[in-house]
Amino acid sequence: MANLKIGKMIMRSLFKKPATLMYPVIPREYKERTRGHIEVDMNACILCGICMKKCPTDAITVNREERTWSIQRMRCIQCSCCEEVCPKKCLVNESSYTTPDIIKIADTYEKPDEPNAAAGETGLKCADTCVFCGICVKKCPSDALTVDRAAKKWEVDNDKCTKCGFCVESCPKKSLSIE
C-alpha cells in the first residue's frame, strides 16, 4: 500500500485528543522563562533613564521632571535589554502576555514621592583618595561628571546625576559613594 504511508499516522490522530488548545477557553500555560511583558517596581526605580537609552525600539520613556516611567506595549519586543542594563534591577520580564487591545496603549507608572528628598545633601560624593583618572567620566551614562586632571578637580552636576551608581562601581580607588 504505497499510497497509504501516512495512513497509520492519520488513524492514530483520529483517536487522539487534539494537538491544539481551545484558546482562549483553555488558557495557555506559560513557561518559567517566557518573556511576556515588562513590569517595573517604581519604589526601586531611580528614573535614571538608561533603559530608555538602550531600548532598541524606543518603547520606554522616562520623564524625570514628572517622575514617570512609561512603556508602549505594542512597540516593546520583549528582548529584556532594559532588564539587563537596569542598575537597580527594578525591571522584570514577567512570563504572561498583556491582554490584547484595539488601540496602541502606553502604560505609565508614577514614582511615589520620597520623604527624604528635600533634606538635601544627598548625592554623589568623592573622597580625598581620588586620583582624577577620569574612568567615572567615561562610565557615566548621563554625562554628569567632569574631571580636570591638571587642576585636580572633580565635579558632579547634581541636576544631571541619576545616582545610578555606575561610577561608584568603576572607581579603581573606591573613592566615590552615594549618600
Asked whether position 3 contacts other proteins by CB under 8 A, the answer is yes
Instruction: Candidates 63, 68, 72, 78: give the one binding other proteins (CB under 8 A).
Output: 78
Asked whether position 31 contacts other proteins by CB under 8 A, the answer is yes
Q: Which is nearer to other proteins, 155 or 169 (CB)?
A: 169
Shortest spacing between CB 125 and other proteins, in angstroms = 27
Asked whether position 96 contacts other proteins by CB under 8 A, the answer is no
User: What burial class does residue 133 get, using C-beta atoms within 10 Å of its C-beta: 0-12 exposed, 13-18 middle, 19+ buried?
Assistant: middle
Shortest spacing between CB 81 and other proteins, in angstroms = 6
The C-alpha cell 583618572 sits at 133
Region near other proteins per CB under 8 A, out of 29-37, 63-71, 104-112, 170-178: 29-37
Shortest spacing between CB 20 and other proteins, in angstroms = 9
Shortest spacing between CB 31 and other proteins, in angstroms = 5
Strands, sheet with 60-63, edge to edge from the N-terminal-most edge strand? 60-63, 68-72, 106-110
Asked whether position 54 contacts other proteins by CB under 8 A, the answer is yes
Region near other proteins per CB under 8 A, out of 27-35, 39-47, 115-123, 159-167: 27-35
Shortest spacing between CB 23 and other proteins, in angstroms = 13
Per CB under 8 A, residues contacting other proteins are: 2-3, 5-6, 8-10, 13, 19, 31-35, 54, 56, 77-81, 84, 93
